[in-house]
Amino acid sequence: MDAEELLRRYAAGDRDFIGVDLSNANLSRTDLRGINLSKAYLDRANLIDTNLYRACLAGTHFEATEMINTDLRQANLSGSHLSGANLSGADLNRADLYSASLENALLIGADLSYAKLEAAIFDGANLSYANLTGSTDGDVNDAILDHTIMWDGSIVNNRP
């Protein structure tokens, strides 16, 4: 499926796009709130300034995807693959990142306030200036943060 077909079907009221392949698609500056892209492939896609508020993105592949300033508030990203993705400035307020893979992801200035971070893998990620307000100590402690640059510039090594 290409971006044009997805946008046409979304405009017609379709919200269910489970497992579609949109690798390299340009969906920047689109409003896709409430879309279901579970287990979809959006590797190397352009989602800059895209509205994915309350989207179901569980198990979706976003490797090396540009998601700068993307609205992911309350999105379900559990089990998603975001390795190498650029989420700088993204709004992940109350997002579910349970068991998500964020290795080497850029989350500079991202809002992760009240996000569910339990079992998320942040190995090598950059969380400089990220907002982790309300993320419980249990969630953060259960996340894998090895070689992660934290909001204060420190580097964490918490792998047992």
Which pLDDT tens digit goes with each residue over 41-60? Answer: 999 999 999 999 999 999 99
Identify the sign of the CA torsion 97, 104, 52, 65: negative
Query: What local confidence, expressed as pLDDT, does residue 138 receive?
Result: 47
Residue 139 has pLDDT above 70, yes or no: no
Q: What is the pTM of this model?
A: 0.90
pLDDT tier at 143, thresholds 50, 70, 90: confident
Query: What local confidence, expressed as pLDDT, does residue 40 receive?
Result: 96
- Distance set, CA 142 to CA 21, 113, 116, 120, 121 (Å): 31, 16, 10, 8, 9
Which pLDDT tens digit goes with each residue over 81-118? Answer: 999 999 999 999 999 999 999 999 999 999 999 999 98
Asked if 128 and 153 touch (Cβ cutoff 8 Å), the reply is yes
Instruction: Provide mean pLDDT across the span 143-149.
Output: 72
- Looking at every residue in the chain, the average pLDDT score rounds to 90
Q: How far is Cα of residue 95 from the mean position of the Cα atoms in its chain?
A: 8
The H or E element spanning position 148 is strand 148-149
Identify the sign of the CA torsion 53, 59, 60, 62: positive
Domains of the chain (ranges; CATH) run 1-160 (2.160.20)
Q: Can you read off the two tokens belonging to residue 114?
A: 């009240």
Q: Can you read off the two tokens belonging to residue 86?
A: 């650029």
Residue 16 has pLDDT above 60, yes or no: yes
Asked if 48 and 26 touch (Cβ cutoff 8 Å), the reply is no
Give CA–CA dist 59/99, Å, rounded: 10
Query: What local confidence, expressed as pLDDT, does residue 134 receive?
Result: 83
pLDDT tier at 152, thresholds 50, 70, 90: low
Q: Please tell me the least confidently modeled range out of 16-25, 26-35, 127-136.
A: 127-136
Give CA–CA dist 131/111, Å, rounded: 5
Nearest residue to 26 (alpha-carbon basis) of 46, 42, 6: 46
Higher pLDDT, 96 or 160: 96
